């Protein structure tokens, strides 16, 4: 791969990393609050985070404390029929899932072990592998909310993957945050907050630099991971807006087009790439004055990545579906919505020819959706927040992306080989009644967004999955 010097990449990546950590994370975290503190409480207003749940809460406890249900990953596993696959012996054995992260907290192995013990899972096979970027990496600071946000993301990602594919090997490719000044005391209003920061306006020069930085470092990180671990699937929970990377224009992003060549090589070698579709709807507030601008999250917009959007599970107190899945849209309470729409950079790939009536001449996202709603969040365990050790409810398209990455690993196990580029198979399976893809027909992805409809749409993609049918069907296409 033709690359510029390491020093050049490092300088640009520090700029891009700052943007990614503050404005472009594809995760939305929600922490428990007092009964009077609903999830709609303003983060920007400085709502004080409270102690996590000391033990795994019930749906009713979450509703009482948060004003919304929350689900254990075991419930999510059963809702998608993954428990039935595991009963048949499909557990991810012999498969490797790599997760590219911006920072692996020192407690990551310990927290994953504790999560595994509490939910009676096999001992996790976790490898944390630093990726050399040429920049020094920071020590963990629980008072730095940017660092805590990415540490929570890494923790959430590995726990989701381990629950869904408990015998798979997990590799965390750690890019490492550069040293930063710690934020004020955790007891202040700027302590780690219940959810990620929404993207906001960036001066064109910063957006351009961040785009170039990301487009140089991410392909290198993926290639390094490929060479060292030869994973079945690589997932990425972060993203930046195409509009900002184009200098606040609707023009194609040349740096992303160049990186796309490297991504295509990786997929052709047999590894599936998965990325989160974004958390701030089809039109995030990234224009001047906070105006909404339609924009896609990259790299999910790249045709080589499976773009996974967020949907909402509706489960009763026993964890059974009480209604069909809908598009994730919590924007009315300030908790985000799934990304999706047409790309300003990439033209329609051949695998989307069957949905050209929806996407037109552009690459459309998402490809499909899985659980990502904050209203009905997913519970995960952590031990490093200043507010205490325990369970936090979280949502975001990053949850959906990790769920699907694990599903791909199960399909690879069933097929007995790596499936690589699965896009054509996805769109073909959607047309089959036995393909395991379930249409989502209700909801939208926020203001100036897109409406779910019968068939493919720019809010939910092809829909969601019934893994008990989808995994064997996908495996059979390999």
Tell me the per-residue pLDDT of 364-423, one tens digit each, with 9 for 90 and over.
999 999 999 999 999 999 999 989 999 999 999 999 999 999 999 999 999 999 999 999
Distances (CA, A) of 28 to 104, 137, 261, 374, 380: 18, 24, 30, 7, 13
Residue 132's pLDDT is what?
80
Question: CATH homologous superfamily for 27-38+47-475?
Answer: Peptidase S8/S53 domain (3.40.50.200)
Residue 50's pLDDT is what?
57
- The closest of 237, 53, 266, 240 to 159, measured between CA atoms, is 237
pLDDT of 188 > 50? The answer is no
Average pLDDT over residues 127-135: 84
Confidence of residue 138 (pLDDT cuts 50, 70, 90): confident
Residue 398's pLDDT is what?
95
Give the distance, in angstroms, between the CA of residue 469 and the centroid of all CA atoms in the same chain: 23
pLDDT digits (tens, 9 = 90+) for 309-343: 999 999 998 889 999 999 999 988 888 999 999 99
Residue 450's pLDDT is what?
98
pLDDT of 8 > 90? The answer is no
Average pLDDT over residues 348-371: 98
Confidence of residue 454 (pLDDT cuts 50, 70, 90): very high
Average pLDDT over residues 256-277: 97
Residue 198's pLDDT is what?
66
Domain map of the chain by residue range?
27-38+47-475
Q: What is the rounded CA–CA span in Å between residue 73 and residue 120?
A: 12
Cβ-based neighbour number of residue 318 at 10 Å: 8
Contact call for residues 199 and 360 (beta carbons, < 8 A):
no
Confidence of residue 195 (pLDDT cuts 50, 70, 90): very low
Residue 404's pLDDT is what?
99
Residue 174's pLDDT is what?
93
Structure tokens at 222: 């993926």
Average pLDDT over residues 25-38: 39
Residue 197's pLDDT is what?
53
Confidence of residue 35 (pLDDT cuts 50, 70, 90): very low
Contact call for residues 173 and 266 (beta carbons, < 8 A):
no
Distances (CA, A) of 27 to 54, 330, 336, 372, 448: 23, 13, 9, 9, 21
pLDDT of 232 > 90? The answer is yes
Q: State pTM to two decimals.
A: 0.89
Mean pLDDT across the chain: 86
Q: What is the rounded CA–CA span in Å between residue 107 and residue 120?
A: 20
Average pLDDT over residues 75-79: 97
pLDDT digits (tens, 9 = 90+) for 196-215: 456 788 888 888 888 888 89
pLDDT digits (tens, 9 = 90+) for 144-167: 888 888 899 999 999 999 999 999
pLDDT of 170 > 80? The answer is yes
Residue 201's pLDDT is what?
84
């Amino acid at each position: 791969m033709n690359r510029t010097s390491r020093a050049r990449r490092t300088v640009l990546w520090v700029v891009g990393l700052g943007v990614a950590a503050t404005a472009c994370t594809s995760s939305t975290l929600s922490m428990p609050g007092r009964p009077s503190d609903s999830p709609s409480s303003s983060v920007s207003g400085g709502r004080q985070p409270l102690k996590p749940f000391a033990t795994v809460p019930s749906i009713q406890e979450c509703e009482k404390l948060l004003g919304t249900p929350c689900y254990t990953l075991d419930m999510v596993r059963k809702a998608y029929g993954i428990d039935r696959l595991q009963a048949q012996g499909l557990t991810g054995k012999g498969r490797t899932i790599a997760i590219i992260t911006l920072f692996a907290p020192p407690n990551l192995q310990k927290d994953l072990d504790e999560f595994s013990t509490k939910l009676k899972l096999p001992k996790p096979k976790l490898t944390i592998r630093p990726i050399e970027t040429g920049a020094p990496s920071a020590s963990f600071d629980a008072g730095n909310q940017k660092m805590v946000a990415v540490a929570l993301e890494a923790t959430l990602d590995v726990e989701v993957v381990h629950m869904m594919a408990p015998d798979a090997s997990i590799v965390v490719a750690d890019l490492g945050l550069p040293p930063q000044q710690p934020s004020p005391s955790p007891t202040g209003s700027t302590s780690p907050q219940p959810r990620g920061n929404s993207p906001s306006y960036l001066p064109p020069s910063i957006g351009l630099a961040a785009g170039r930085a990301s487009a140089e470092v991410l392909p290198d990180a993926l290639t390094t991971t490929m060479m060292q671990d030869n994973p079945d699937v690589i997932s990425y929970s972060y993203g930046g807006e195409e509009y900002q990377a184009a200098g606040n224009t609707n023009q194609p992003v040349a740096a992303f087009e160049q990186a796309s060549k490297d991504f295509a090589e990786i997929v052709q070698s047999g590894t599936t790439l998965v990325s989160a579709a974004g958390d701030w709807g089809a039109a995030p507030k990234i224009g001047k004055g906070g105006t909404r601008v339609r924009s896609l999250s990259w790299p999910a917009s790249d045709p080589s990545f499976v773009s996974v959007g967020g949907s909402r599970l509706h489960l009763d107190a026993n964890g059974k579906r009480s209604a069909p899945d809908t598009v994730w849209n919590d924007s009315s309470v300030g908790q985000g919505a799934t990304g999706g729409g047409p790309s300003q950079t990439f033209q329609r790939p051949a695998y989307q020819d069957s949905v050209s009536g929806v996407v037109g001449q552009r690459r459309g996202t998402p490809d499909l959706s899985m659980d990502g709603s904050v209203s009905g969040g997913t519970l995960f365990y952590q031990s490093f927040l200043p507010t205490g050790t325990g369970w936090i409810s979280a949502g975001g398209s990053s949850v959906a992306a990790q769920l699907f990455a694990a599903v791909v690993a199960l399909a690879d196990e069933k097929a007995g080989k790596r499936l690589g580029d699965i896009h054509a198979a996805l769109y073909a399976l959607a047309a089959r009644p036995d393909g395991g893809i379930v249409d989502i027909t209700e909801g939208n992805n926020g203001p100036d967004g897109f409406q779910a409809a019968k068939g493919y749409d720019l809010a939910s993609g092809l829909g969601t999955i019934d893994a008990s049918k989808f995994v064997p069907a996908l495996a059979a296409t390999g």
